Structure 1
Amino acid sequence: MWVEDWAPAAACREANPDELFVRGAEQNKAKQLCSGCPVRTECLAEALDNQIEWGVWGGMTERERRALLRRHPSASWRAVLETARNSAGKLPASL
């Protein structure tokens, strides 16, 4: 299920915003905050669809998002990520 108003459910909602807008090795710490987030997919779709340039969003750095956008410049990331998440939920339990 896609969460429209995802920000209140984000794992980072109470974090200091400066922790998410860092450079270098500090980005790995920020990405860890995203790892267990229940709305990570929605956050990432927001950043990709709106081409947000700075910070860690949905567990991806600016560089990672730019690379993805270069490969697929006209994608609707919400549609892509929502479809992928729905498909993953339908995998057999044996996998």
Structure 2
Amino acid sequence: MTSVQWVELAACRSTDPEELFAQGAEQNRAKMVCAGCAVRTECLAEALDQRIEFGVWGGMTERERRSLLRRRPDVVSWRTVLEDARQAFERSAAG
């Protein structure tokens, strides 16, 4: 799925963008928008692969993403890692 395609399906597409770039406790509200989003994985992968520094993307704050990037500096494509993890989860949930 291309970035244009997933953006069109994002739960936040009708949300005020300022809500997704909140600070402090307000970020928890922004993360709730992501909770049931069908393209959360694609969004998070985009933020991690592009090293986007600000805002809530894919349900993670900038601090959470920085921490993840520090723990896994060897990852070349977060899209691949996250898609593989989602598929493994779906297989285990189905069986």
Is 1:82 paired with 2:83? yes
SS at match of 2:73: coil
Query: How is 1:1-95 mapped onto 2 (pairs within 5 angstroms)?
Result: 3-4=1-2, 5-75=5-75, 76-91=77-92, 93=94
Q: Determine the C-alpha separation between the residues in 2 that align with 1:79 and 1:92.
A: 20
Aligned-residue sequence identity (percent) comes to: 63
Give the ranges of 4+ consecutive aligned residues of structure 1 lying more than 4 Å apart after TM superposition.
none
Q: What RMSD in Å do the two structures reach over aligned CA positions?
A: 1.2
Number of residue equivalences? 92
| CA distance in structure 2 between the partners assigned to 1:93 and 1:77 by the alignment | 24
Question: TM-score, length-normalised on structure 2?
Answer: 0.92
Write the distance in 2 (CA, Å) between the matches of 1:86 and 1:63.
26
Q: Which runs of 5+ in 1 are unaligned?
A: none
For structure 2, the residue ranges without an aligned partner over 5 or more in a row are none
Deviation at 1:91, TM superposition (A): 1.1
Judging by fraction of residues, say which structure has more helix.
Answer: 2
